[in-house]
Structure 1
Amino acid sequence: MPLNISERRAHRLSELLLRLHHGSREIGATHFKGWALEQTRAEIPFDRALWAMGAERELVIHGVHLQNLPPHFMENYERFKHHDRILAAVLQHPRRAFFIDEVYAPGEREQMEMVKQHSRRFDIEYAVVVAMKEPVTGLFNVVSLYRGASASPFEAQERLLLELLIPHLVESADLNRLRMVQHRLPPPRTAACGNALCDDQGVLHQAEPRFTERLRAEWPEWSGAQLPTPLVEALLNRRARRFIGQRITVQRQTLDDIHHLTAREAGPVDHLSQREDEVARLLADGASYKTIARRLAISASTVNKHAHAIYAKLGLKNKTELAKELRGDEGEA
């Protein structure tokens, strides 16, 4: 039977969504998930919560926020996570929320009791769980809301609200984290790109749809959270700042232990050498050969040679055309 949300509740939900998206720009990344869950609690009361991020193929959980739960909650969970029917169910059916009792078959009572025993150690009697999953990479976000034995079970309408909320929770958290990284790093020279975050092993922690689209253009068979081997070798093993493929260019910037990657379509400008690229951008800014020579500590005749090579490679005639070419490289989607 279809569930309807009252007009009053629909207005409250709309206000909550606005707060989430405003908060993604204002709240610090280390506090955002806790803050977002507190906003959610106003509409779906709960006692404890978990928000986990990971990769489905490897079943690796690489980020966890625990709300009113001790750190060893996850240590206990690691022992049976591969037998967790709830996680399997929400990953198989993204954006559909489940109650614990729904996902175990009659012959799986032992597994269900294992989960319940684990939960009751932390005063968890009732749970509603939902996930979002990126289809190409398998990156997922799982949100679990819990109530203790003294509380009432979650209702069907609360499950529906969580299903409506999960895309906004995940999108606002993704934007919040990317903004934090981008705020602390110099901006990439191109705006027409897809963004992603990965670790030193080349495992994606977050990826925009445009980023995965760009990578699939270069490697049509690629999927999963592990970056393609050529990217890992160039950007992480050799620590290159830029990978130039047949169809795409990927740039890397590093902040602490996370790498910010930007991927875009490759263009003629990408095939300039590093020195030619430096000269080209100064020429496009209107600098004279003498100014460029002084800035780069090279001779004016060397600047002249680079300029001729740049114009020849790009099929251009003057600074005006060069400036237009570089503007196109930097922002047109």
Structure 2
Amino acid sequence: MDDLQRLVSRLYRSGVERPAEDFQRWALQQLKAVVPHDAAVWGMGHAERGQFHNVKVFGLDQAFAKALQEWRDHNPLYPRLADSDGIPMDMRDAVPDARFYRSEIYRKCFRPFGVERILSSGHMDPRCGLYTLLSLYRFDRDQPFSEADRQHFRVAAFHMVHACSHNFFLHLARPASEHSERPAAVADGRGVLHEAEPEFIALLAKHVPDWQGMHLPEAIAGRIGTESRFAVEDLCVEVQPLSDIFLLRIWEETPLDRLTVREREVVQAVSRGLSHKEAGRELGLAPTTVSSHLYRAYAKLGVASRSELARLVHGMP
């Protein structure tokens, strides 16, 4: 197994043990064994040319991120990255060295931080516009990135982006929930996506065919922060606050989703074989109250016995 294969394996196998806030730094450290670099930037946001909501700088002062933003419209790499999804671009692809080292962007943006060589890769999900930018930097002008560096970075960057998203949802977006296994996404209060699992995007596209872009459909976005659970286009949506952003889970509506929370609790208890009295003790309800909830649940689900209920709940043939 070569260094690149070992890197990809570590990203998925060892990466899950890393705290989400440390994953990017750790992954870039692992990358150094394959593509040596002195510093890096990992930006996440949307495909609206440089609109990042999260930019992390490694090996450089954080002020470098501000300088990059200020000189964004003058950066000759950005247009090429926008048209080359996943293909690494060296600054030499955009402008010859002689012109770059005489340029104002080099003198005012890169040289003050010691950046001499640049290799960048942009990754966009075209279904929702989520965008990730990875840039590697070297401080020695006499050590340009090679063609082998470029090819290794292309493979590594693809897996770094996907492993980072997996790590994020595994560690940050999995609070205790009845539906913790459902496809998830993170959005702000305006309904702008910050992260999304592929299954989330696929379900949304299936049930809201005219939806596209980084903003969630208004039927969902308009209810973020005001409702914890609702239905849209045969989809169930669960919303949970995560500091100043929100975790959303979606799944296709099932008959059980038509029940109230208490009715679902009663159905789950009874379908496990508990008697009305045992279910009541577990849920803190009187047996007669259990019976009332179960009666209403039977009517909504179209079942008439415990065996039918168990088959529905547990998917029995």
Q: One fold, TM greater than 0.5?
A: yes
Are 2:91 and 1:103 equivalent residues in the alignment? no
Q: Distance in 2 between matches of 1:134 and 1:323?
A: 40
Give yes or no for contact 1:52–1:141 (8 Å, CA) kept in 2.
yes
Match of 2:272 among 267, 279, 285: 285
Percent identity reads 29
Deviations 1:65-116 (A, max 9, x none): 21111111112222232443423322321111111132359xxx79x92432
AA aligned to 1:133 is M
Counterpart for residue 186 of structure 1? 176
AA aligned to 2:287 is A
Q: Distance in 2 between matches of 1:321 and 1:244?
A: 25
**CA 1:215–1:47 in structure 2 vs 1: closer, same or farther (change >3 Å)?**
same
> What's the offset of the Cα at 1:274?
2.5
Partner-residue secondary structure (3-state), 1:46: coil
Choose 73-82 or 89-98, whichever is displaced more: 73-82
Q: Distance in 1 between matches of 2:61 and 2:218?
A: 38
> What's the offset of the Cα at 1:12?
1.6
TM-score, normalised on structure 1?
0.85
> What's the offset of the Cα at 1:49?
0.7
Q: Distance in 1 between matches of 2:252 and 2:219?
A: 17
Counterpart for residue 13 of structure 1? 4
Provide the aligned length of Structure 1 versus Structure 2: 313
- Equivalent positions of 1:1-333 (< 5 A) are 11-57=2-48, 59-103=50-94, 113-117=103-107, 118-182=109-173, 185-189=175-179, 191=181, 193-234=182-223, 236-238=224-226, 240-328=227-315
Q: Distance in 2 between matches of 1:131 and 1:244?
A: 35
Q: Distance in 2 between matches of 1:222 and 1:113?
A: 42
Cα root mean square deviation, aligned: 2.5
Gaps (5+ residues) in structure 2? none
AA aligned to 1:186 is A
Q: Distance in 2 between matches of 1:298 and 1:43?
A: 61
Give yes or no for contact 2:179–2:249 (8 Å, CA) kept in 1.
no
Q: Distance in 2 between matches of 1:32 and 1:289?
A: 48
Q: Distance in 1 between matches of 2:73 and 2:303?
A: 59
Deviations 1:144-199 (A, max 9, x none): 0111145411111111111111111111111111111245x1044364x3221222
**CA 1:58–1:42 in structure 2 vs 1: closer, same or farther (change >3 Å)?**
closer
Give yes or no for contact 1:181–1:260 (8 Å, CA) kept in 2.
no
AA aligned to 2:264 is D
Q: Distance in 2 between matches of 1:320 and 1:88?
A: 62
Q: Distance in 1 between matches of 2:314 and 2:84?
A: 43
> What's the offset of the Cα at 1:224?
1.6
Give yes or no for contact 2:74–2:105 (8 Å, CA) kept in 1.
no
Give yes or no for contact 2:37–2:136 (8 Å, CA) kept in 1.
yes
> What's the offset of the Cα at 1:133?
1.0
Deviations 1:261-303 (A, max 9, x none): 2211111111112332222222223332234444555543333
